[in-house]
Structure 1
Amino acid sequence: MWQEVAVQGIGWLGTILFIIAYIQLNRGVWTVKDPKYHVYNILGSIFLVANTLWDYSYAATMANLFWGVIAVYGFLKFKKEAKAD
């Protein structure tokens, strides 16, 4: 019982992190070069992967996994560019 509540809570937290990142990007508060944007997406992805695996939703797991991989790529790309400046 407590595991189900914890996993669902993790899933909701992942969803909230994705939504915050998307809102902040669209409001112009964050850009794709902002590390916060990528960190929120990476954490959101990790949390939603855990949640969707628990629920045996493998298509959603893959979508969230690739979202996270792309966020890691963006984080590393812009971190490298920032060092070059």
Structure 2
Amino acid sequence: MSERKDVDFLLDIRESMERISDYTHGMEYDDFFQDHKTQDAVIRNVEIMGEATKAFIPWKRLAMTRDKLIHHYFGINTDIV
């Protein structure tokens, strides 16, 4: 398998952002708060973005968000997501 280039990680991030936008399009906050499937889908894509950002040194904060989401399953605050 060839080494991934920066553009590959950026494309992963863009795809995850587009998915989050698609999943939440037209939703109000209360709809999102009640829809656990959409929450899971959004959280998963934030995790993917966080993993992809680990290739970029200045983006550590998003990578840290990914780590918090992955390792605090029961402590995720949907107000922040």
| TM, length-normalised to structure 2 | 0.58
Q: d(CA) in 2 for partners of 1:51 and 1:7?
A: 5
Closer, same or farther: CA 3–13 of 1 in aligned 2, 3 Å: same
Q: For structure 2, which runs of at least 5 residues remain unmatched after alignment?
A: 77-81
Q: Which runs of 4+ in 1 moved over 4 A?
A: none
Q: Provide the aligned length of Structure 1 versus Structure 2.
A: 73
Q: Name which one, 1 or 2, has greater alpha-carbon Rg.
A: 1
Which structure's residues are more often helix, by fraction?
1
- Over the aligned positions, Cα root-mean-square deviation in angstroms equals 3.4
Deviates more, 1:50-59 or 1:2-11: 2-11
Aligned counterparts of 2:22 and 2:33: Cα–Cα separation in 1: 14
1:54-76 CA distances to partner (integer Å, 9 max, x unpaired)?
1122122123443x35x94389x
Ranges in structure 1 where 5+ consecutive residues have no aligned partner: 76-85
